[in-house]
Amino acid sequence: MTFRDHLLFLMMYRHGLRCSEAIDIRMEDVSFDRAALWVRRLKGSNSGMHPIEGDELRAIRLYLSTRSDSLPWLFVSERQGRLTRFAVNYLVERTAKAALRSTSVVLRHHAEGTPYRGENSGPGKHDRGELDTETRN
């Protein structure tokens, strides 16, 4: 995952941004001295200032240090243009697939809805509500 992708997902999560709101953020919307972000809300929501946490501020600075352009948008594409909604949807899908590939076997079984039998469990013990004493704390 690139610095841009990490920052994009972090900001969308922390500030509750819609895809279109995230790609609409401009460089002038980020205030480093006040550690704040101006968010232009869509669909009738109220726009306003949002505080930026320290790790988020560092991520913004790190991402901007990788850029050599003077484009007005915070998030730009690899072709040096404004990031599109379709590109963000692709990034989310690609990242979700990569995360699913890297999860443990137990989580994969959970996601697929199939039962997982660990090495300490016999057949059917969990189905009957019994637990192995070795797995208890």
List pLDDT tens digits, range 49-108. Answer: 999 999 999 999 999 999 999 999 999 998 989 999 999 999 999 988 887 776 655 566
Looking up tokens 């079984």 gives 109
For residue 34, give both structure tokens. 């006040």
pTM: 0.70
Separation between Cα atoms, residue 95 and residue 7, nearest integer Å: 13
Q: Does a structural domain hold residue 120?
A: no
Q: What is the pLDDT of residue 99?
A: 78
Tokens of 79: 């072709």
Residues whose CB falls within 8 Å of the CB of residue 35, separated by 6 or more in sequence, listed in order: 51, 52, 53, 54, 57
130 found inside a domain: no
Examine residue 24 and state whether it is found in any structural domain, yes or no. yes
Residue 115 domain-assigned (yes or no): no
Q: Which range of residues forms the domain containing residue 30?
A: 3-100
Helical (H) or strand (E) element with 8: helix 3-15
